Amino acid sequence: METRSLPILLLTLVALLIANLMFGAVSLPFKQVIEGFQVGNANYFTVHEYRFPRTILAMLVGAMMALAGALVQGVIRNPLASPDVLGVSHGAGLAAVFYMTFFPNADIDWLPTVALCGSLIAALMLWWLCGQHSSTIKLAITGVALAALYASCIDFLMLVKPLEINNALLWLTGSLWGRGWNQLAMLLPWLLLIPCALWLAKPLNLIHLGDDSAISLGVKASTLRLLSLAIAVGLTASCVAICGPIGFLGLVAPHLTRKLVGGRHQLLLPSTMLVGAILLLLADLVARTIDPPIELPAGIMTAIIGAPYFLWLLFRTK
């Protein structure tokens, strides 16, 4: 337990980073991957322009979604909670589908911004309905209800505008397909949220002990809850805007990590980022190599791992 898992996680991450550069529709030996970073090399496009930014993006998105999950589970004090219960991803989905179906000829480059606005509006909606001092249970149930509402709106849009359904469905599964340097650049400013989240490690430990003890130990419980959820919303929204809603990552990664390293957030938060990165790199690797040249969305892979894990968790939890 505890810190012993860290080196193993780091090694796994490095191995997966390399594997993601080597394998795909065409497999490249390690030497050619290294050479592919040089301008003018035959594999320059495949390695530097295509696989490398996508791999980095998968690592960052995996880490950020997992971190968001750990923050939400931390303040809601329930291992079954995840950023999905805030309705943020569904808000992004609704905005994206709305944009794609009503403006089919509009610039696709604006899609991340539209999705980002959708998720932030969804977060504000939840905030407006619940306010600062409501219980976490009320927050979670309201979030789930809103998510269901957004999901039904998405279905409605796709039924009345069946012509645009393909793009919408592809985006809604969550995928890293076609994502490169541009998307990576869009994500960069949001990385600032990571140190902000790590800053909350100590008070998150105390929230774990219940509000009464946390307050008595000097934590402003409601402020901390608001801050953590806001950071989780920012992390989730920025990732969903770029890759679409990649399911179950924010639920599975922190939970798995808690089993590996325990519940102290000083260790849990950095470790869960490693686990999240590993899971998404693995999902994308499998999605790209299972049946080349056809690619599956990474979101399907995370759902295939995540859904049974969630059910197992549900049956185990009394």
For the bound state, the minimum distance from the C-beta of residue 236 to other proteins, rounded and expressed in Å, comes to 23
Whose Cβ is closer to other proteins: residue 253's or residue 261's? 261
d(CA 33, CA 18) in angstroms, rounded, equals 9
In 3D, which of 229, 232, 242 has the Cα closest to residue 115?
242
For the bound state, the minimum distance from the C-beta of residue 3 to other proteins, rounded and expressed in Å, comes to 13
Whose Cβ is closer to other proteins: residue 91's or residue 203's? 203
For the bound state, the minimum distance from the C-beta of residue 231 to other proteins, rounded and expressed in Å, comes to 16
Whose Cβ is closer to other proteins: residue 86's or residue 206's? 206
Whose Cβ is closer to other proteins: residue 38's or residue 223's? 223
For the bound state, the minimum distance from the C-beta of residue 254 to other proteins, rounded and expressed in Å, comes to 11
- Which residues form the interface with other proteins (CB under 8 A)? 77, 79, 199, 201-202, 205-206, 208-213, 215-220, 258-259, 261-264, 266
- DSSP lists the bridge partners of residue 291 as 294
Structure token pair of residue 198? 């790590």
Structure token pair of residue 62? 């995996």
Contact by Cβ (8 Å): 304, 245 = no
For the bound state, the minimum distance from the C-beta of residue 225 to other proteins, rounded and expressed in Å, comes to 15
Whose Cβ is closer to other proteins: residue 103's or residue 199's? 199
Whose Cβ is closer to other proteins: residue 131's or residue 292's? 131
Whose Cβ is closer to other proteins: residue 45's or residue 312's? 312
Structure token pair of residue 231? 């950071």
For the bound state, the minimum distance from the C-beta of residue 203 to other proteins, rounded and expressed in Å, comes to 8
